[in-house]
Amino acid sequence: MPHAHPQATRCFSVALLALAITFQVIAPAFAQSGGGRPAPAVTYIEVDTRDVTPQFEYPGRAEALETVQLRARVEGFLQERTFREGADVKAGETLFMIERAPYEVIVDQRSAEVAAAEATLVNAAADYKRKAALAKRNDVSQASLDQSRADLESARAAVLRLKASLRAAQLDLDYTTIKSPIGGTTGVARYSVGNLVGPSSDPLATVTTIDPIHVNIQVSEKQLIDARRRGIDLDNPTVAPSLLLSDGSAYPFEGVFDFLAPTVDRGTDTVTARATFPNPEKLLLPGQFVTVIVRQKQPERALAVPQASVQQDAKGYFVLLVGTDDTAELRRISVGRQIRGDWVVLDGLAGGERVIVDGIQKAAPGAKVNASPRTPAKGS
């Protein structure tokens, strides 16, 4: 029988030794891992109270508090425009002047007519007084006395008529000065100086009050009924409206509801609600669309968990927890309303417990899990 080569024998022995060492290292780890499957990785959040204040969003449109069209009430040539387009003006401020001279002449004529009529009245009164004294001595006929009385009454009527005419002429003169009846921002002037304007002309300009400013929203019948049942009304408002602008930024001022339409729109089955907002920076303009956020003034806090962590079966709602020994635990819970991606938890959880939010499908009740806390998203 041939003998094995000594070098080959040594190589075979080294190989057996290496295999034995490898088995001694791998076998315990293989046994510890439960057949080679590592515990599934999951992430969790710790249960805590959160802001669960009810909040609703509505599309809204801004509307001017007041808008006035300035019109000429008398005819004449525009003599002066005293404002800059787009500027703020005060109530009672003069904006346009119509040529005054023709109306001043009329006022002077009416004043002279009144003076003449008053002189005639004085003479008529004196004539009647004299004839009345003569009539007592039967020195004047009754017909002459009656005529004197008629002349006196006619003179009095003439004075009243001409004074009314004078007041009308004075009004027309006053109308040559066109003032803004409200405070606000002026629009574009439709006529320039030198143009002939009158009552039939288009508006000379507009003045719009936008500070404060109105914002209208449409509320559904269901939401209105719910608000009424919860005691929300304009006399005792428990909600405060705020705004998001079209660029997504928050409007810096809070508003107040001040009007609710008394009827339902049959076409949309909604009711118009109006809120008023301060607008000192004129960020809001009439016709502008905004998002109105309606939120309770009194904040509410409660235990809440992400909707993705809550599951449901025939027995109800449940979540999976990470137990103290890093095993998954099924916990039955009672939930309330959903709000901003969370379920409000009414019963079944306590603050500080670890609820699995990611990897739920890989975890089984009673099984080990490799748990780590969820990393908050940037900006949250």
Please give the pLDDT value at position 239: 81
Please give the pLDDT value at position 133: 86
Look up residue 217 and give its two tokens.
Answer: 């929203």
CATH number of the domain located at residue range(s) 68-94+181-206 in this protein: 2.40.50.100
Q: What is the dihedral of CA 111, 112, 113, 114, to 10 degrees?
A: 50
Beta strands in 159-307 (DSSP E): 177-179, 184-186, 196-197, 205-220, 239-244, 256-260, 270-277, 289-296, 301-306
Non-local (6+) Cβ contacts of 232 within 8 A are 238, 239
pLDDT of 67 above 80: yes
Please give the pLDDT value at position 41: 92
pLDDT band at 299 (very low <50, low <70, confident <90, very high): confident
pLDDT of 93 above 50: yes
Query: What are the residue ranges of CATH 2.40.420.20 in the chain?
Result: 41-52+301-373
Of 318 and 23, the structure prediction assigns the larger pLDDT to 318
As its CATH architecture, domain 41-52+301-373 has Beta Barrel (2.40)
Closest CA to 240 of 258, 224, 255: 255
- Average pLDDT of the residues in 120-145: 88
- Average pLDDT of the residues in 169-191: 96
Please give the pLDDT value at position 350: 92
Whether the Cβ atoms of residue 62 and residue 214 lie closer than 8 Å to each other: yes
pLDDT band at 234 (very low <50, low <70, confident <90, very high): low
Please give the pLDDT value at position 154: 93
Look up residue 251 and give its two tokens.
Answer: 């409007």
Please give the pLDDT value at position 379: 46
Whether the Cβ atoms of residue 47 and residue 320 lie closer than 8 Å to each other: no
Whether the Cβ atoms of residue 235 and residue 228 lie closer than 8 Å to each other: no
Cα distances (angstroms) measured from residue 165 to each of 19, 107, 115, 170? 128, 9, 13, 9
Fold of 101-174: Helix Hairpins (1.10.287)
pLDDT of 373 above 80: yes
DSSP secondary structure letter of residue 362: G
pLDDT of 46 above 50: yes
Domain 56-63+212-296 bears CATH identifier 1.10.10.10? no
pLDDT of 23 above 70: no
Please give the pLDDT value at position 340: 82
Please give the pLDDT value at position 250: 94
Query: What are the residue ranges of CATH 1.10.287 in the chain?
Result: 101-174
Measured in degrees and rounded to the nearest 5, phi and psi for residue 344 equal -80, 125
Query: What are the residue ranges of CATH 2.40.30.170 in the chain?
Result: 56-63+212-296
Query: What are the residue ranges of CATH 2.40.50.100 in the chain?
Result: 68-94+181-206
Please give the pLDDT value at position 75: 97
Written as one string, the DSSP assignment of 284-343 is --TT-EEEEEEEESS--EEEEEEGGG-EEETTEEEEEEE-TTSBEEEEE-EEEEEETTEE
